[in-house]
């Protein structure tokens, strides 16, 4: 990673408790490069106006910029059509959109089945439990192995003609596992099930092509891809989105409203009720373009190098156990140290300027699978350095000594 990349993140220049900030909480949210901060500021200093309604100059310019952002985001994921890309407030919002409209559609019947995996984030569990409650469907779960991978030995009995939707984590936020979705998606298609991929952790770390994946929905959050919070997107296949009912009612999502009857707008506006996060969409496009410029492979390779370095070095610490030991991992190192609570460890290394996440990472069922309440998680981004990994390991050794 070149110093030019790091220098584009002003927030990283600060010190915490007199120590240079080491930001290893990227799986929770990534920092924003100047290209994104500039796009955000330029929107508010030059374009701010409501979209899709006004005839005046600024409204037209803001509308053009918002719709151009949609083109950029759709193209980034190789979506066949730009109007299949719905702006949301993030992954959680996108999954709820899909689950609620599927529940409302009447296509899920009592006794039908919904399949998720043991690696899911709460936001890809709870909306499906709510769908099951509303429809009488039942939830199945792909088990997780000791290495933090899907156990696919019984997958053919988990996917049947009763399975209507399969909602899967693409890359695990808690363990880093890159899941073999390419093995499961063809089985889902053969059984006639819809597939939603939770891309919250794949979008930041790898090239994603929704057509090559063959999924029906892909959702992600902007704030993990170097863009602001409050913006994300759901991509869905046109014919499926067209077959589903509208979700939130309001302005923008309608064609014509009378007190007797309302007709709904076409995609994507059918699913974008109310004034959208215009600046967010524009900044998201800027973030994805910035990632393209850096190079998605460059990002993935750099994070992988840091992961390999950290994984090797952490083994020198007595009593360390790594959770998630798959060969196929994004830049996430989740671990425990025997006899030390993750919260105490996180607090101590915070005093040394190091930001990591501790706890269940919104994956309580996964933590239960391993018989733990949480882990300490270091997660890497393109701006992190090998020196920071050294600082982190030294801090861990110091903290472990103090806490034992
Ligand atoms: C962060 C995350 C989510 C939730 O994303 P929000 O931005 O909080 O909506 C869902 N799934 C995974 C795998 C995540 O990492």
Break the chain into its structural domains and give their ranges. Answer: 3-24+296-403, 37-292
Q: Which atom of ligand 1 is nearest to the CA of 232?
A: 7
Q: Would the CB of 179 count as within 6 Å of ligand 1?
A: no
The pLDDT value given to residue 2: 78
The pLDDT value given to residue 305: 98
Instruction: Report which protein residue has its CA nearest ligand 1's atom 14.
Output: 200
β-bridge partners, 377: 334, 357
Give the class (CATH, top level) of 37-292.
Answer: alpha beta
The pLDDT value given to residue 238: 98
Active site (annotated) includes residue 363: no
Distance (Å) from CA 20 to ligand 1 centroid: 28
Distance (Å) from CA 93 to ligand 1 centroid: 10
Q: 3-state secondary structure string, the chain?
A: CCHHHHCCCHHHHCEECCEECEECECCCCCCCCHHHHHHHHHHHHHHCCCCCCCCCHHHHHHHHHHHHHHHHHHHHCCCCCHHHEEEECCHHHHHHHHHHHHHHHCCCCCCCEEEEECCCCHHHCHHHHHHHHHHCCEEEEECECCCCCECCCCHHHHCCCCEEEEEEECECCCCCEECCHHHHHHHHHHCCCEEEEECCCCCCCCCCCHHHHCCCEEEEEHHHCCCCCCCEEEEECHHHHHHCCCCCCCCCCEEEECCCCEEECCCCHHHCCCCCCHHHHHHHHHHHHHHHHHCHHHHHHHHHHHHHHHHHHHCCCCCEEEECCCCCECCEEEEEECCECHHHHHHHHHHCCEECEEECCCCHHHHHHCCCCCEEEEECCCCCCHHHHHHHHHHHHHHHHHHC
pLDDT one-digit tens code per residue, 220-267: 999 999 999 999 999 999 999 999 999 999 999 999 999 999 999 999
Can you give the pTM of this predicted structure? Answer: 0.98
**At the topology level of CATH, where does 3-24+296-403 sit?**
3.90.1150
Which residue of the set 132, 215, 362, 363 is catalytic? 362
pLDDT beneath 70, residues of the chain: none
Strand-pair category, 85-88 with 232-236: antiparallel
């Amino acid at each position: 990673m070149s110093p030019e990349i790091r220098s584009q993140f002003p927030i990283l220049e600060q010190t915490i408790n007199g120590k240079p900030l080491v930001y290893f909480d990227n799986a929770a949210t990534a920092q924003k490069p100047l290209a994104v901060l500039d796009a955000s500021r330029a929107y508010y200093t030059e374009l701010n106006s409501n979209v899709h309604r006004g005839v005046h100059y600024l409204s037209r310019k803001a509308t053009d910029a918002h719709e151009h952002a949609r083109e950029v985001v759709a193209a980034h994921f190789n979506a066949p059509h730009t109007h299949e890309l719905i702006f949301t407030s993030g992954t959680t919002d996108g999954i709820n959109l899909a689950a609620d409209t599927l529940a409302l559609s009447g296509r899920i019947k009592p006794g039908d089945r919904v399949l998720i995996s043991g690696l899911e984030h709460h936001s890809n569990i709870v909306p499906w439990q709510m769908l099951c409650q509303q429809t009488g469907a039942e939830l199945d779960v792909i088990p997780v192995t000791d290495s933090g991978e899907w156990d696919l030995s019984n997958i053919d009995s988990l996917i049947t003609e009763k399975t209507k939707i399969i909602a899967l984590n693409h890359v695990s936020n808690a363990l880093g596992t890159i899941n073999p979705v390419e093995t499961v998606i063809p089985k889902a298609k053969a059984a006639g099930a819809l597939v939603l991929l939770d891309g919250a952790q794949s979008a930041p770390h790898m090239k994603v092509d929704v057509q090559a994946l063959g999924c029906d929905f892909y959702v992600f959050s902007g704030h993990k891809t170097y863009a602001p919070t409050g913006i994300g997107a759901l991509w869905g296949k046109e014919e499926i989105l067209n077959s589903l009912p509208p979700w939130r009612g309001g302005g923008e999502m309608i064609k014509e409203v009378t007190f007797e009857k309302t007709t709904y707008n076409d995609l994507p506006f059918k699913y974008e009720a109310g004034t959208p996060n215009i600046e967010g969409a524009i900044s998201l496009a800027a973030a994805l373009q910035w990632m393209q410029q850096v190079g998605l492979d460059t990002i993935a390779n750099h994070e992988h190098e840091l992961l390999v370095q950290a994984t090797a070095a952490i083994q020198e610490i007595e009593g360390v156990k790594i959770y998630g030991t798959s060969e196929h991992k994004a830049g996430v190192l989740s671990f425990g140290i025997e006899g030390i609570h993750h919260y105490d460890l996180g607090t101590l290394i915070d005093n040394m300027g190091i930001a990591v996440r501790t706890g269940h990472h919104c994956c309580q069922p996964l933590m239960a699978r391993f018989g733990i309440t949480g882990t300490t998680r270091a997660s890497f981004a393109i701006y992190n350095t090998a020196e920071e990994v050294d600082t982190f390991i030294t801090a861990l050794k110091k903290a472990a000594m103090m806490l034992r």
